[in-house]
Structure 1
Amino acid sequence: MASRSRRRGARPQAPDARRRRLPMRLLLPSLVLVAMMAMLMLRGYVHSEILADHRVRPAAASDKVPQQILKGGPVIDARSGRTETLKVPDRRLVLTFDDGPDPEWTPKVLDVLKKHDAHGVFFVTGTMASRYPDLVERMVAEGHEIGLHTFNHPDLSYQTKKRIDWELSQNQLAITGAAGIRTSLFRPPYSSFSAAMDNESWPVTEYIGSRGYITVVNNTDSEDWKRPGVEAIIRKATPKGNKGAIVLMHDSGGDRSQTVAALDRFLPQMQERGYEFDNLTEALDAPSAHSQVTGAELWKGKAWVFLVQASDNITAVLVVGLSIIGFLVISRFVLMLVLSAVHARKVRRRRFRWGPPVTEPVSVLVPAYNEAKCIENTVRSLMASEHPIEVLVIDDGSTDGTARIVEAMNLPNVRVIRQLNAGKPAALNRGVANARYDIVVMMDGDTVFEPATVRELVQPFGDPSVGAVAGNAKVGNRDSLIGAWQHIEYVMGFNLDRRMYDMLRCMPTIPGAVGAFRRTALERVGGMSDDTLAEDTDITMAMHRDGWRVVYAENARAWTEAPETVQQLWSQRYRWSYGTMQAIWKHRRAIVERGPSGRFGRVGLPLVSLFMVLAPLLAPLIDVFLLYGLIFGPTEKTIMAWLGVLAIQAICAAYAFRLDREKMVHLISLPLQQILYRQLMYVVLLQSWITALTGGRLRWQKLRRTGVVGAPVPDSALGQQVVNEGPVR
């Protein structure tokens, strides 16, 4: 109503403009989810999970390769149309290391080189340089040269010129961001000696030269990638006689302990023979291959490295968090199954009694605001009660004639109390003040009770320590898809939860649709409060803190009309989520309270905070990782993991349905619920968080009712109560 009145004075917008504007409640969560997906894709990109090409081409003919290349040195200069090769002078060795930097092995290689005062050339990939920029910076600072080895390490013979340019530019961007330099050295992935150049790789080398790069292959392969042993690596890395050489080694791609050990022996041995270990340009007496980068290009590189680091670190934290949450959620499922079974076995024993039977009359409070379509069904269902009751319908300023409908029914023990619109908590407090009896039952104006509901609901008060009782709320309009999804949620997510919390003695919420209170307990905690939008959760927590026991009565069934549209469902759950956050914050001091009342603070409040407020925030990661895995792999493992999670949920749901003696047919929609309905709940919770963190205020939103949930009638086939679809006449 408030938002409508605010819009009255605003300038009217064109219908098309209103349709194009995305609501903020959708925009913010959508942006968060898109950012998460983008971050995950960036991480996949730099981990070679996206756009990587692992094909390796077999050798081809070489008749189109110039002879001076095939018989020349390992340094190929094809810049500006030249076709020249260079060799390293005698007694000079250029150690080259491919595929790094690696966080474990590159520092050890650098330590050995520093120990023996030797330099080398590191041909780094963009993926690794982006992830470990500090190592690239250390290489440059310690006097080593850097060369490009592409970004994703593909065989360039398979790639287009556009992809080759992209591999070079991205590799260069990573190096710039890490060390602030640009390099003119390049080594193709899967390259060998210049004599191995063929008709497929030579055109690539020519094109690389046209882009201003010198291609560096090798003429001495240590074959350290085979891990043949330290002696074999030293033997293969040693050139014949006193010849110079470019030696191929690796500082990444697996266990390089043999490479490090071989270097530590190889360097002093060759230095004793008069060899020098120089950079490539030092060995060739050529200008440095490095040039400093400044201005926009430098900041572009730094921004790239920052984003990669952020995506890597945040994703790692999220994965750990998701693992922890996953463990806790599965543990909670197990705990729910075990404690629910214990609860059912306990309360279903033939001799189980809460205490002396409760037979005295009770007061039933029905707060109503514009419930004209539902109120007749609600009141008539109460008239069929097997327990003596009085009914108080508190009309909270209705404008649709709700009070007149009840008065026209002219039923015994039914009173109508009228008040100006003041909200549900005020209506309930007004009802308590006018109630005649010591036990007060509260229900919603759109809910119908079974004949045995009130009797079952009040029996736990035979135990003098019980201050409140939660009933079993059920969805009456379950024939629609949205209704079926809420039916699953009510049976599995609410009632199974309540069995567990009952056993733990920390019930967090008495549903507004069906709950009962000891009047003295209500008065001791100050009655219903309008401090939060979840007055039912608020009063339950207050009961715990006052030392009262709150229990669950599974046979006290109430049938409520659940929202039938996405908009109404959104409004209801948004209020529930935000109200729960408010209640948790209001009763936060329960965590440090001692004595019997502190049990809720030590057990209940942390559980509610974790599984109703915090854990669902990370739950969308399951779907983000699922989508990522389906598109980029590993697809089979992703599908199996998702089916495993679904199987766990299906088992819990089936067990909950069995405990509540519900038909299993509605579980057919469970997979679709996990794909669609769960996403809606995520966004609702995220919006509630945004509202809470920004200090926003959320008002009550009245849901439109249809009156389709009628009074229950016996079903002899099931031996329990079912609901008519349609009003009772």
Structure 2
Amino acid sequence: MRRHPHRPSGLSPPEPPGRSPEAPGPRRGRPPLSPRHRFRIVVPLVLLAFLASVLLVEGYTTRGFTGDQEGRGGRGTTGVPRSVTDGGPVLDTTGDHLRSYRTPDRTVALTFDDGPDPTWTPRIRAVLDHYGTPGTFFVTGQQTTRHPGVLRGLVRSGHEIGVHTFSHPDLTTQSASAVDRELALTQLALAGAAGINTSLMRMPYSSTPSALDAPAWSVARRLGEKGYVLAFIDQDTNDWRRPGARAIADAATPSPPGRGAVVLLHDAGGDRSQTVEALRVLIPRLKAQGYRFTTLSDLVGTQRLSSPVDTVDLWSGRVFVTAVTVSGAVVSAVTVLLLAVGSLVLARCAVLLVLARHHARRPRTGAPRPVTRPVSVVVPAYNEEVCVPNTLRSLAASDHPVEIILVDDGSRDGTADIADSLALENLTVIRRPNGGKPSALNTGVLRASHDIVVMLDADTVFAPSTVGRLVQPFADPRVGAVAGNAKVGNRRRLLGRWQHIEYVMGFNLDRRMYDLLHCLPTIPGAVGAFRAEALRDAGMMSADTLAEDTDITMALHRAGWEIRYAPDALAWTEAPTTLRQLWRQRYRWSYGTMQAAWKHRHALLERGPAGRFGRLGLPLLAVFQILTPLLAPLIDILALYGLVFGSPLTTVLAWGAVLAVQAVCAAYAFHLDGESLRPLWALPLQQIVYRQVMYLVLVQACLTAINGYRLPWQRLKRSGDVVLPPQPSPRRP
């Protein structure tokens, strides 16, 4: 039996205990999924689909809006009827007729583009209502869905509403289907926000009829065929330039005096305070000169160009507006969480680097009397015939006196026989029925002849110096256990390199931090040493969780023992070689970590060393091994969102900055561990592919915990290709 040795504390939780032998007999087909299995599969898919939908809705309804700003100027080109270019600012091409409407003398229609805006539209409406002046507001669907209450206020005040498309594109550059989609979404937004539709429209970036060119006229004809009356302008105030309130009012005053005009202003797209002040000047001025104010409907000779929608359209629109509102709220919450996660990740990286450097540079006082007495080494094994020879030979080559105890936990292959055939000195092989890893370890501890017990898994290889370095901290009688430095021994393939990077970063940096803070959460199953007395105080190895290594470590803290980390006690272990095996392994680790943390939650309220671990170690574990990894996918999800709907360059630079921080941490961890930096070329791919797998594993583990499902043991297939590499000792600055 064997499970992955070490859980690097940064990204992946611990390793589980007991297993059951596989049922003999012919292999059967895959059974149907139980409700609990379906729960763990369906819920992540539903959550992912919901988040994707939210981001798509929010991205499309808020992307890239810019106001009208500069409209088309100059003269129209050939292909536009003279009656249009020389006609009035309101054009009706519906049906088979073509007619334009001029503004009567001493008549002004105030029109506002790009709204509704939650700040400026209500202020403009208040000025118009104060003077009893009607206005015509050409609204975009984006702004309407984001601020439906503002539009309802305009309708209640009796102002006229027109369409200004959904996302404010230049319609001459859009396909026919894109134009239809812009119109349909805008009408849907109007229906949901105010229960109306309108046949009045102003094309974005349009100006006077005389500026129409052939492409714009083609779009205008098509819009007429769809039933829209088009509005152009007589006078452009250029208020978006913010030239001053009086300059805006002067530009809106018809010239020569007495002439009528359709005036263009803006109620959104920027600071419109000058527009508000200009209206306070303009309206009294024109009224004093005998002008009247009207709407574009009045120019056409109809009472209103908008109408109430039927029940189906009303509820369709409400659903649409609600979806946009929910999407905006969710994206805002996700953005806040992203900032929190990003801050935590950056702060954690900075703290890890500082503490790791301090840990590496701190003087090692050492014991006046090094630990030289023999120790017992316990190796639990279940169907490990491929791996066990290398493991046992590496232990026999130890330069520290050892007693080797192999506990064959009901293997159905030749594990025990192969161990016996090696004829190694000081090797004892214990055969017992299958009972799980914790039970096998306890059996080995009870048979141990010495007071210090080293534990490792049957696919792990020790260097000759590993045992001696691992037991030196036991010179301090307060030390109950010591964690060694586990490394990936099969790193020739890409998946192995990814795990190698994870091990060095997670194990080396995190363990150094936890060691300084005296709250190390896990003694890895691949390389750990225990004082037998401490094990008895902590209740021995337990099968209560799927992470017996984390469970016993937390129990030792609560029993008052010190836990140390020996970075120079090196061990090489076999990592999963396929994504399927990796998933199964990390799934157990993640779930086991949650079980262990929940089991020892009462340490939060305890005193002494137990309370110190409970109030420091458990929160760190919860934040950086469960909460932060659960939220970390937001970085990648919003990166995709930024590439599609935001600024690709800014998004790439931001993601590159995150990767650079990870690379700095990885390079320093490799330096401290004496490792070559060459494997770090795989770091970008690890962030893109491998990390996503770890996210999904953690999500599934959380759902398993919520669902109350007891995860069974699943043994990994071994290749036995871990051998002792020529590795230098970790460097000390």
Q: Judge same fold: TM > 0.5, yes or no.
A: yes
TM-superposed CA distance for 1:55, in Å, is 11
Matched letter for residue 249 of structure 2: I
SS at match of 2:576: coil
- Whether 1:404 aligns to 2:417 is yes
Question: Deviation at 1:491?
Answer: 0.8
Cα distance, 1:641–1:7 mapped onto 2, change above 3 Å = farther
Structure 2 residue identity aligned to 1:521: A
Q: Using the alignment, how far apart are the partners of 2:481 and 2:131 within structure 1? A: 79
- Are 1:255 and 2:271 counterparts? yes
Out of 238, 246, 256, which is 2:253 matched to? 238
2:395 aligned residue (369, 379, 382):
382
State which of 330, 346, 357 in structure 2 corresponds to 1:314. Answer: 330
Structure 1 position 694 matched with structure 2 position 707: yes
Query: Identical aligned pairs, as a percentage?
Result: 52
CA contact (8 A) 2:134 2:158 kept: yes
Distance in structure 2 (CA, Å) of the matches to 1:386 and 1:532: 35
Q: Deviations over 1:614-651 (max 9, x none)?
A: 11222223223333444555233333333322222222
Q: Compared with structure 1, are the counterparts of its residues 54 and 381 closer, same or farther at alpha carbon in structure 2 (3 Å cutoff)?
A: farther
**Residue type of the alignment partner of 1:345:** R
Query: Where do residues 417-432 of structure 1 align in structure 2 (5 Å cutoff)?
Result: 417-432=430-445
Q: Distance in 1 between matches of 2:339 and 2:80?
A: 54
Cα shift at 1:572: 0.8
Residue 280 in structure 1 maps to residue 293 in structure 2: no
- Describe the superposition over 1:52-93 as per-residue Cα deviations: whole angstroms up to 9, x where unpaired: 999987756344433433333322121112222234445543
Query: In structure 2, what is the Cα distance between the partners aligned to 1:443 and 1:50?
Result: 61
2:532 counterpart of 1:519: yes
Q: Distance in 2 between matches of 1:26 and 1:555?
A: 42
Selected match of 2:209 from 194, 198, 217: 194
- 1:139 aligns to 2:145 (yes or no): no
Structure 2 counterparts to residues 645-684 of structure 1, below 5 A: 645-684=658-697
Q: Residues 274-423 of structure 1: matches in 2 within 5 Å?
A: 275-281=291-297, 286-346=302-362, 349=363, 352-353=365-366, 356-423=369-436
**For residue 386 of structure 2, what is the amino acid of its counterpart?**
K
- 1:59 and 1:198 in contact (8 A); partners too: no
Whole-Å separation in 1 of the counterparts to 2:410 and 2:586: 24
CA distance in 1, matches of 2:20, 2:417: 27
Mapping for residues 169-184 of structure 1, pairs under 5 Å: 169-184=184-199
1:414, CA displacement in angstroms?
Answer: 2.4
Pairing 1:546-561 to 2, within 5 Å after superposition: 546-561=559-574
Distance 1:646 1:508, change over 3 A: same
Partner of 1:79: 94
Displacement of 1:406? 2.3
Greater relative CO (CA pairs within 8 A, separation 6+): 2
Q: Within the alignment, does 1:114 sit opposite 2:120 as a pair? A: no
Residue 34 (structure 1) shift: 5.1
Q: Distance in 1 between matches of 2:180 and 2:710?
A: 53
- Distance, in Å, in 1 between the alignment partners of 2:369 and 2:149 is 74
Q: Which of 567, 571, 593 does residue 606 from structure 2 map onto?
A: 593
**Are the counterparts in 2 of residues 218 and 248 from structure 1 also a CA contact under 8 Å?**
yes
Q: Distance in 2 between matches of 1:686 and 1:53?
A: 46
SS in 2 for 1:95: strand
Q: What residue in structure 1 maps to residue 585 of structure 2?
A: 572
Alpha-carbon distance, 1:174 to partner? 1.4
* Partner residue in 2 for 1:104: 119
Tell me the residue number matched to 2:503.
490
Equivalent residue of 2:262, what SS? strand
Partner of 2:84: 69
Change in CA separation of 1:384 and 1:23 when aligned onto 2, cut-off 3 Å: farther
Aligned partner of residue 214 in structure 2, secondary structure: coil
Q: Does 1:609 align with 2:622?
A: yes
User: Does 1:225 find its partner at 2:240?
Assistant: yes
Q: 1:177-229, CA deviations, whole angstroms, 9 ceiling, x for partnerless residues? A: 21121111101111212333333322322221111111112223222112110
Is the 8 Å Cα contact of residues 483 and 564 (structure 2) preserved in structure 1? yes
Q: Which residue of 2 aligns with 1:126?
A: 141
Task: Find the aligned partners of 1:425 and 1:476 in 2 and give their Cα distance.
Answer: 24
SS in 2 for 1:596: helix
SS in 1 for 2:609: coil
**CA offset digits 1:585-627 (Å, max 9, x no partner):** 2223333434332222222222221111111222223223333
Distance 2:398 2:309 in 1: 84
Unmatched tracts of structure 2, length 5 or more:
1-18
The CA distance in 1 between the partners of 2:441 and 2:121, in whole Å, is: 71
Residues in 1 aligned to 2:625 and 2:597: alpha-carbon distance in whole angstroms: 11
Aligned mates of 1:399, 1:644 — CA distance in 2 = 51
Q: Judge conservation of contact 2:672–2:730 (CA < 8 Å) in 1.
A: no
The aligned amino acid for 2:328 is D
Work out the CA distance in 2 between the residues paired with 1:186 and 1:420: 82
Moved segments of 4+, more than 6 Å? 1-13, 22-27, 50-58
Report the CA distance shift for 1:448/1:87 in structure 2 as closer, same or farther (over 3 A). Answer: same
Counterpart amino acid of residue 535 in structure 1: E
Q: Which amino acid aligns with 2:347?
A: S
More deviation, 85-94/517-526: 85-94
Contact 1:457-1:556 at 8 Å conserved across structures: yes
CA distance in 1, matches of 2:678, 2:40: 34
Over the residues paired in the alignment, what is the CA RMSD in angstroms?
3.1
Match in the other structure for 2:226: 211
Query: Equivalents in 2 of 1:166, 1:192: separation in Å?
Result: 23
Match of 1:457 in 2: 470
Aligned-pair CA distance for 1:28: 5.8
Structure 1 spans left out of the alignment, 5+ residues: 722-729
After superposition, the Cα gap between the structure-2 partners of 1:468 and 1:111, relative to the gap in structure 1 and judged at 3 Å, is: farther
Question: SS of the counterpart of 2:117?
Answer: coil
Contact 1:354 1:461 in 2 (8 A): no
**1:315 counterpart letter in structure 2:** V
CA contact (8 A) 2:465 2:569 kept: yes
User: Residues of 2 paired with 1:278 and 1:60: CA distance?
Assistant: 28
User: Structure 1, residues 472-492: CA drift from partner, whole Å, max 9, x if none?
Assistant: 001111112211111111111
Q: Match of 1:709?
A: 722
Pairwise CA distance, 1:271? 4.2
Q: Normalising by the residue count of structure 1, what TM-score does the alignment of the two structures yield?
A: 0.90
Equivalences, count: 709
| Contact preservation (8 Å) 1:57, 1:155 | no
Which residue of the partner structure matches residue 55 of structure 2? 40
Amino acid at match of 2:154: M
User: Taking structure 1 as reference, are residues 12 and 325 closer, same or farther at Cα in structure 2, changes over 3 Å only?
Assistant: closer
CA contact (8 A) 1:55 1:155 kept: no
Report the Cα distance in structure 1 between the residues aligned to 2:308 and 2:272, rounded to whole angstroms.
Answer: 31
Letter in 2 for 1:475: V
Over 3 Å counting, the alpha-carbon distance change for 1:289 and 1:190 in structure 2 is same
Mapped contact 2:75–2:210 kept (Cα < 8 A): no
Which residue does 1:481 correspond to in 2?
494
Amino acid at match of 1:302: R
The aligned amino acid for 2:235 is T
Q: In 1, distance between residues paired with 2:85 and 2:226?
A: 22
Partner of 1:726: none
Query: Could you tell me whether the CA contact under 8 Å between 1:89 and 1:284 is conserved in 2?
Result: no
Change (3 A) 1:473 1:243: same
